[in-house]
Amino acid sequence: MKNIRTEAMQCYQCKNPRCRQGCPIHTNIPEMIRLLKEDQVMDAATMLFENNPLSIVCSLVCDQEKQCEGACIRGIKGDPVAIGDIEQYISNSCFERIRLNLQPENGKRVAVIGSGPAGLTIAVLLRQKGYKVTIFEVREKIGGIMRYGIPDYRLPRTILDRYYDKLKSLGILFRPNMAIGGAIGIQDLLDDGYASVFIGTGAWKPRRLNIPGETFGNVQYAVNYLNNPDVYDLGEKVAVIGAGNAAMDAARTAVRKGSRDVTVYVRRDKVAASQDEMDLAMIDGVKFEYMKAPVRITDDGVFIADTFFDEEGKLKISEESAKLVPVDTVMVAVSQVPQNRLVTRDPALKLNDRGNLATDEEGATTMKGVFASGDVVTGAKTVVHAVGESKKIAEEMDHYMQSLDQD
């Protein structure tokens, strides 16, 4: 981490701050830096939390290079201001001391299904507006992919434990090990008097490669592996198929858990993950092969072929170039799609043609009173996108619940 005060001094306090435009949820970065320089760090932390309840997390896992720091005017001729480090310092050091204004309880219950960034954002914002909020989570602890996907060396679990304490201090109730769509369905929640239900169940079903051999015992899906790497024995040599965050995390974790030869095979000529992530993966010893795609998996490894762009610019696979790469494990990390357990249980909920939960612009699903946002609606995206969408949906849920009084 860079020296925070020195970095803050670098900020020009631009009239039209490009950093703010570069942030998907328009964090008021110049104001954060101004408050820090004037020793009003608690005001800066409160402002950050109110704009983004997941500020500490975003300061660690956002791709700042492509967002705020990538847009910083200082970056044109030299290094941009280390905005992520400044936000991290402020949010982390003040988190426990932030006191939120809570409106008095209004007697209405809200059910939040899922405790990833989408669910946590909705829970905090609606609790602030006076609703009685209960979070239902199929897993033991809160956090969603932040806890059960992103490795601890990038996002320490203690941060999520601190969020749990914060939720408790706000009076938000939590039901762990509770899958909605099992013993209890959404209709049961509505029948029990919840004024509205929020679905933030994310995208956890691994996207398949759809190649022969994908069911064999030497194949693992990254999103499952990262859930609990210690129960896997990947062996010495691992081929990771993919180019995003999950591919980088799976490769770096495999190295940390003892695999000696880990190569990421990328279909195109660059990765989708941040440059920073890729640099760190290379430092960890991960190798990269570009313009390569798997075509078949056997007990001995994976057949990898070259890819190329045809005259229309479409990516194609040269099947005849396929060669066996002997590996102990093939790790598939080509994104995730939503599970549809809830939809199967409640036929009033519909999916869109991409297999995501269908909502209108206001986040309303096809079931009255039921709203959704985050990966379950957009498909696999990022923490800051889940927070940004959920801020809008919290407003819509509030309007909807207030309108119930006028019916």
Ligand X SMILES: Cc1cc2nc3c(=O)[nH]c(=O)nc-3n(C[C@H](O)[C@H](O)[C@H](O)COP(=O)(O)OP(=O)(O)OC[C@H]3O[C@@H](n4cnc5c(N)ncnc54)[C@H](O)[C@@H]3O)c2cc1C
Q: Which residues bind ligand X (CB under 6 A)?
A: 61-62, 113-119, 136-139, 144-146, 149-150, 179-181, 200-202, 223, 226, 245-246, 249, 341-342, 374-376, 380-384, 386
Q: Smallest gap, in angstroms, from Cβ of residue 104 to ligand X?
A: 28
Q: What is d(CA 340, CA 390) in angstroms, rounded to the nearest whole number?
A: 20
Q: What is d(CA 364, CA 111) in angstroms, rounded to the nearest whole number?
A: 15
Q: Smallest gap, in angstroms, from Cβ of residue 306 to ligand X?
A: 27
- Strand runs (DSSP E) across 91-227, as ranges? 109-113, 132-136, 173-175, 194-199, 205-206, 219-221
Q: Smallest gap, in angstroms, from Cβ of residue 286 to ligand X?
A: 15
What residue type is 74 in one-letter code? R
What residues are paired with 132 via a beta bridge? 109
Q: Smallest gap, in angstroms, from Cβ of residue 47 to ligand X?
A: 21
Q: Smallest gap, in angstroms, from Cβ of residue 375 to ligand X?
A: 4
Name the residue nearer to ligand X (CB basis): 302 or 337.
337
**Helices 383-406 and 117-128 sit at what angle, rounded to 10 degrees?**
40
- Sheet containing strand 219-221, edge to edge, reads 219-221, 329-332, 237-241, 261-265, 287-289
Q: How many CB atoms lie within 10 A of CB 183?
A: 8
Q: Smallest gap, in angstroms, from Cβ of residue 216 to ligand X?
A: 22
Name the residue nearer to ligand X (CB basis): 264 or 325.
264
Q: Smallest gap, in angstroms, from Cβ of residue 373 to ligand X?
A: 7
Residues 307-331: b if buried by 16+ CB within 10 A, e if exposed: beeeeeeeeebeeeebeebebbbbb
Residues 76-101: b if buried by 16+ CB within 10 A, e if exposed: eeeebbbbbbbbbbbbbebbeebeee
Name the residue nearer to ligand X (CB basis): 131 or 136.
136
Q: Smallest gap, in angstroms, from Cβ of residue 332 to ligand X?
A: 12
3-state SS record for 379-396: CCCCHHHHHHHHHHHHHH
Name the residue nearer to ligand X (CB basis): 84 or 117.
117
Q: What is d(CA 89, CA 79) in angstroms, rounded to the nearest whole number?
A: 19
Name the residue nearer to ligand X (CB basis): 83 or 386.
386
What residue type is 286 in one-letter code? V
Name the residue nearer to ligand X (CB basis): 56 or 325.
56
Name the residue nearer to ligand X (CB basis): 149 or 294.
149
Name the residue nearer to ligand X (CB basis): 76 or 231.
231
Q: Which residues contact 361 (CB under 8 A, 6 or more apart)?
A: none
